[in-house]
Amino acid sequence: MAGTNEYGLGPFTFPRGWFMVAASSEVKAKPLAVRYFGQDLVLYRGESGTAYMVDAYCPHMGTHLAKNTTSYVVQDHKQVEGESIRCPYHAWRFGPDGRCNQIPYSDARIPATAKLNVWRLEERYNCIFAWHDAEGGSPYFELPEIAEWHDPAFVQWEPDQLGTLPCHPQEVIDNMADVGHLGPVHGGYPEYFVNEVDGIVLRQLQGAPHRTLKPGEVLQTRTFYTGPGILLSYFNVNNGIMYITHTPVDDGVIKAWHAFLYKSPNAVATAQDAEIGRMAQAGSLAAFAQDFEIWGNKRACINPLAVPGDGAFGKIRQWYKQFYNSREQERKFHSLADGVYPVRGMPTQSQRVA
């Protein structure tokens, strides 16, 4: 798969924003090796239950902090102490701020360079998210708020792990404009379709029959990205919410997750509702898998061969570029991308004839 430079997105290899790095259930006291943004990293939980993500390699002698089973630091369950993590090689200990706070065999002054980079994390919706910014800046937008998560009528999800895909995230973002695939892939041509671009938010409003999810019915969805990596899609107002997220692993490789928030008919979801919710998530996953299979078996689309009736690929790609360029240039990309973009020859929702 092609890399960021070939798509002409900007000077940064990986986009700026919030990205999922693990399901909450994966991260325990035992350090977990992961790789994102072209870097080897480690996730672990301190004794308080707080999750941390740090650089994988100890600055002392380059030992991977998570890939060890034989050191007695690991065997004696001493790798995580309080909120700190120990290297399995020489037992240097690093605090939640990343600084080395103990060298067991030396009382000399700890070098200032004995420090791990600590990533900013947020834990919500049974997921752990990290902020990535090549410029090192603090977050300037929040994770999307899912008010329904706290509604007891909804069955909370456990994310589906979809693994890695040899696909640049640009190909996934393109799906937001791709009105033409809905019939061939999902079994129903839309009655209406429109994209809206507003700053860091990209929306898609559409209504179409969907043979996988709603055979014989029109499925109306309100779908949006908040930043470049987190998608929520509300089905038929808010009867269910599909969640899709993808995170760059390396240039041209992503890791993806899926989940579904099911609304039960009861004020408080029952055990039977929970089982129905799991079935609903499996159905949503089957629908998403239709797109996932396409992305995993295509060459890079550097310049779409667009025809009248295709969606607003150009505007959406313009929107996406803001995350690969400096913050100083964001206003420029907003001025080029912000707006409402219907599909030629197709009504928007407000123009739809009942």
**DSSP notation for 2-24:** --HHHHT--S-SS--EEEEEEEG
pLDDT of residue 131: 98
349, pLDDT greater than 80:
no
> What end-to-end distance do the CA atoms of the chain give, in Å?
43
351, pLDDT greater than 70:
no
- Per-residue pLDDT band for 344 (boundaries 50, 70, 90) equals confident
347-352 average pLDDT score: 64
Instruction: Say if CB 157 and CB 260 are below 8 A apart.
Output: yes
Long-range Cβ contact pairs of 238-241 (< 8 A, separation 24 or more): 238/148, 238/263, 239/263, 240/280, 240/284, 241/146, 241/148
Instruction: Say if CB 229 and CB 169 are below 8 A apart.
Output: yes
The amino acid at 207: G
Buried b (16+ CB within 10 A) or exposed e, 149-174: eebeebbbbebbebeebebbbbbbbb
354, pLDDT greater than 50:
no
Q: Return the percentage of the chain with pLDDT > 90, whole number.
A: 86
In three-state secondary structure terms, 110 is coil
pLDDT of residue 189: 87
28, pLDDT greater than 60:
yes
Instruction: Say if CB 72 and CB 91 are below 8 A apart.
Output: no
- Dump the DSSP string for 218-237: EEEEEEEEESSSEEEEEETT
pLDDT of residue 309: 86
76, pLDDT greater than 90:
yes
pLDDT of residue 213: 80
pLDDT of residue 6: 96
Task: Name which of 180, 185, 235, 181 is nearest 205 in CA terms.
Answer: 235
Write out pLDDT tens, residues 91-129. 999 999 999 999 999 998 999 999 999 999 999 999 999
pLDDT of residue 210: 85
**Domains with residue ranges and CATH for the chain:** 17-132 (2.102.10.10), 147-351 (3.90.380.10)
- Per-residue pLDDT band for 353 (boundaries 50, 70, 90) equals very low
pLDDT of residue 211: 86
Instruction: Say if CB 302 and CB 6 are below 8 A apart.
Output: yes
Position of tokens 């033409």? Answer: 180
Do the strands 201-210 and 214-226 form a parallel or antiparallel pair, or are they unpaired? antiparallel
pLDDT of residue 223: 96
77-95 average pLDDT score: 98
13-31 average pLDDT score: 97
pLDDT of residue 236: 84
Write out pLDDT tens, residues 35-60. 999 999 999 999 999 999 999 999 99
Write out pLDDT tens, residues 229-281. 999 999 986 689 999 999 999 999 999 999 999 999 999 999 999 999 999 99
Q: How far apart are CA 279 and CA 37, in angstroms?
A: 33
Write out pLDDT tens, residues 197-209. 999 999 999 998 8
pLDDT of residue 72: 98
9, pLDDT greater than 80:
yes
Do the strands 240-250 and 214-226 form a parallel or antiparallel pair, or are they unpaired? unpaired
Write out pLDDT tens, residues 136-162. 999 999 999 999 999 999 999 999 999
Q: How far apart are CA 197 and CA 334, in angstroms?
A: 8
Sign, CA dihedral 77-81-87-92, equals negative
Mean pLDDT of the chain: 94
Largest distance between two CA atoms of the chain: 78
Give pTM, 2 decimals: 0.95
Strand partners, 55: 41
292-301 average pLDDT score: 93
167, pLDDT greater than 90:
yes
Instruction: Say if CB 219 and CB 239 are below 8 A apart.
Output: no
Question: What are the φ and ψ backbone dihedral angles of 180, each rounded to 5 degrees?
Answer: -70, -20
